[in-house]
Structure 1
Amino acid sequence: MSLAERKRQLVRDELTEAALKLLAFQGFEETTIDQMAAAAGVSRRTFFRYFQSKEDVIIEFLSDLGRKLSHGLSIRPATEPPAVALQNTLRVFTDTFWEHPEKSQRLAKATVSTPALLARYLERQVTWRTTLTAELATRMATDPATDLRPAVLVAVAFAAFDTALMRWVEQGSTTDLNALLSECFATAFPT
């Protein structure tokens, strides 16, 4: 990465962090783009070099996590059953959320309660499902075009994840999201 690219990434990271903090603690609807730019010490114009809208701040943060999913599944031990590998892969999200639980819980709440954000989140999830289905099919030595199992397993895994996330949003950040995820996976994939 060149020096200019590193500087650009640093500005993007600082802008993202400042914007996410404001969105989490001030509220999605209550936060303006001008406030996000000011919190990061940049101009409104600079904000728009990195993001097209305030929704994009949250969606891009989720996308960064989403890009880690395929890699996360690819490095899971080959001996893990598909459901276990998927649950451990989805911990990319839950582990990140636990780094800053209150902020993450507020952002999750904004995402699931704001129709535009929820739609964008679900749109991204379609891409993640496709990627994970292909990776899981490789792990299972099958063709996802003819074998429905990888796609169904991934769909059920995301249903379990979304259920855990919704319950976590309802119960608050002191609830153990990983425990909820484990409970949902145990229900979805009984042994």
Structure 2
Amino acid sequence: MAERKRQLVRSELAEAAVKLLADQGFDETTVDQIVAAVGMSRRTFSRYFDSKEDVIVHMLAEAGVRLCAELNARPADEPTAVALRRALSVFTSMSVGNPAKMLRVSRLILDTPPLLARFLERQSQWQAEMTGILALRAGLDPDVDLRPAVAAGVALTAFQAALRRWVDSDGSESLDEVVDQALALVGPVIELGVDAG
């Protein structure tokens, strides 16, 4: 029960932060404004987040954990490109469930240099974990064979390009469709084959 309450408070603070950061801009928004929007104290905010930047980083961390868990859970005989696409649905499903929020968060991350830097840092961490998962699926040694690392990196870069396109279209295109297009372009590069090695 206590954990559920913590999660609700964290979500409420994150929701207020995202709205204010998106509406006012990253530099113009203060932690005091965020806590005032939800009627909480700065001390409460500090129990959940270290900074306003940490709100976004926390959201990215959670999404990355789900992404890697989804990739790891894909059937062993599923083609690599399909498994990667299904794993990336962790992100695209957020655009279906709450497109306005996903658009705000994505624009904020892509258009705010400190947040983009943190996003790329997280993406590098996801790539490392995805590399291990892909290598295991394909029976490859990631210390010897570059293919798993290249496949993970290319898939994440294709996703980022699709996300940029979706944000630039102001969400008028389907994120799912744009991601499908981007991954179709790189399909041969990310297909490792489960019988490789």
Please say whether Structure 1 and Structure 2 have the same fold, judged by a TM-score greater than 0.5.
Answer: yes
Does residue 106 of the first structure (1) align with residue 93 of the second (2)? no
Deviates further, 31-40 or 88-97: 31-40
Indicate the RMSD between aligned Cα atoms, in angstroms. Answer: 1.6
Deviates further, 167-176 or 98-107: 98-107
SS in 1 for 2:83: helix
Name the counterpart of 2:92. Answer: 94
Q: How many percent of aligned residue pairs carry the same amino acid?
A: 52
Unmatched 5+ stretches in structure 1:
none
CA contact (8 A) 1:19 1:40 kept: no
User: Partners of 2:7 and 2:185 in 1: how far apart?
Assistant: 41
Alpha-carbon deviation of 1:95?
Answer: 0.7
CA contact (8 A) 1:37 1:47 kept: yes
Name the counterpart of 1:135. Answer: 133
Unmatched 5+ stretches in structure 2:
192-197
User: Partners of 2:53 and 2:43 in 1: how far apart?
Assistant: 16
Name the counterpart of 1:53. Answer: 51
SS in 2 for 1:189: helix
Alpha-carbon deviation of 1:156?
Answer: 0.7
- The verdict on how the C-alpha distance between 1:183 and 1:61 changes in structure 2, with shifts beyond 3 A counting, is same
SS in 2 for 1:95: helix
Name the counterpart of 1:19. Answer: 17
SS in 2 for 1:175: coil
Name the counterpart of 2:151. Answer: 153
Aligned length in residues: 189
User: Partners of 2:91 and 2:159 in 1: how far apart?
Assistant: 9
Q: If the length of structure 1 is used for normalisation, what is the TM-score?
A: 0.92
Q: Where do residues 166-185 of structure 1 align in structure 2 (5 Å cutoff)?
A: 166-185=164-183
Alpha-carbon deviation of 1:32?
Answer: 1.8
Name the counterpart of 1:65. Answer: 63
Deviates further, 158-167 or 99-108: 99-108
User: Partners of 1:142 and 1:32 in 2: how far apart?
Assistant: 48
Deviates further, 149-158 or 9-18: 9-18
CA contact (8 A) 2:18 2:104 kept: no
CA contact (8 A) 1:24 1:103 kept: no
User: Partners of 2:4 and 2:169 in 1: how far apart?
Assistant: 39
CA contact (8 A) 1:12 1:50 kept: yes
Q: If the length of structure 2 is used for normalisation, what is the TM-score?
A: 0.89
User: Partners of 2:70 and 2:92 in 1: how far apart?
Assistant: 13
Alpha-carbon deviation of 1:19?
Answer: 1.8
